[in-house]
Amino acid sequence: MDEKDAEVVIVLAAVLHDLGHAVHRVHHEEFGIGIAESLIPDILKGVYEGNDLGIIEGEFFMPVMLTKRKWRPSPSRPGR
């Protein structure tokens, strides 16, 4: 996977990450992944196929599920 492929993954995650809200707010990430799985091959048709498509699909799941994580801001420490 190169930088262009990573950009594709980020765009897919940004555009498709909230699809699960169409089903329910709770656990929308998991529902969204299920919906996106059926859409991504059509979106990327003619661009990725076979193993390359599988890699892009697999990488898509991580940023979507990271939105579920509870984040705590860390203080910035200038000069370190």
What DSSP string runs through 8-27? HHHHHHHHHTTGGGGT-STT
Grouping H, G, I as helix, E, B as strand and the rest as coil, residue 40 is: helix
pLDDT tens for each residue of 5-14: 999 998 888 8
Q: What is the mean pLDDT of residues 59-74?
A: 70
For residue 26, pLDDT beyond 90:
no
Task: Judge whether 61 and 33 are in contact, CB under 8 Å.
Answer: yes
Predicted model pTM = 0.68
Name the token pair of 45. 């048709």
Among 13-22, 31-40, 52-61, name the most confident range. 52-61
Token pair in block for residue 28: 């929308």
List the helix and strand counts (H, then E) for the chain.
Answer: 3, 0
